[in-house]
Amino acid sequence: MKKSKILIFIILSGIVLLNACTQPGPQFTDTDKDAIRETIQNALQIYNETGDIDAYTNLYYADNAVVMPPNMKPVEGHEAITKLLSNYPEMKIQYTEEVLYGFGNKAYLVGTYNINFMGAMPDDIGKYIEIWEKQEDHSWKIIFDIFNSSLPVPEEDDHGEGEVDMDDEEEEN
pLDDT, tens digit, for every residue of 136-146? 999 999 999 99
Measure the CA–CA gap between 93 and 91, rounded to whole angstroms.
6
Structure confidence at residue 18 as a pLDDT band (50, 70, 90): low
Q: Which helix (H) or strand (E) holds 95?
A: strand 92-103
Structure confidence at residue 157 as a pLDDT band (50, 70, 90): low
C-alpha dihedral, 77 to 82 to 83 to 85, nearest 10° = 120
Q: Is 159 or 59 the better-scoring residue by pLDDT?
A: 59
pLDDT (tens digit, 9 = 90+) per residue, 95-143?
999 999 999 999 999 999 999 998 878 899 999 999 999 999 999 999 9
Taking the chain, what is the end-to-end CA distance rounded to the nearest angstrom? Answer: 88
Q: What are the residue ranges spanned by the domains of the chain?
A: 30-151
| Nearest alpha carbon to residue 89 among 61, 124, 56 | 124
Q: How far is CA 14 from CA 3, 11, 23, in A?
A: 16, 5, 14
**What does pLDDT average to over the chain?**
84
pLDDT at residue 82, rounded to an integer: 97
* Residue pair 42/52 in contact by the 8 Å Cβ criterion: no
Measure the CA–CA gap between 57 and 121, rounded to whole angstroms.
23
Q: How far is CA 25 from CA 28, 34, 102, 131, in A?
A: 9, 20, 12, 18
CA angle 88, 58, 82 (to 5 degrees): 25
Structure confidence at residue 1 as a pLDDT band (50, 70, 90): low
Whether 74 shows a pLDDT value over 70: the answer reads: yes
Beta bridge partners of residue 128, listed in sequence order: 111, 147
Q: Beta strand pairing status for 61-68 and 140-149?
A: parallel
Q: How far is CA 63 from CA 72, 75, 124, in A?
A: 20, 12, 28
pLDDT at residue 165, rounded to an integer: 47
Query: For residue 88, which phi and psi values (nearest 5 degrees)?
Result: -80, 150
Tell me the whole-structure pTM to 2 decimals.
0.74
Give the class (CATH, top level) of 30-151. Answer: alpha beta
pLDDT at residue 148, rounded to an integer: 94
Measure the CA–CA gap between 105 and 88, rounded to whole angstroms.
31
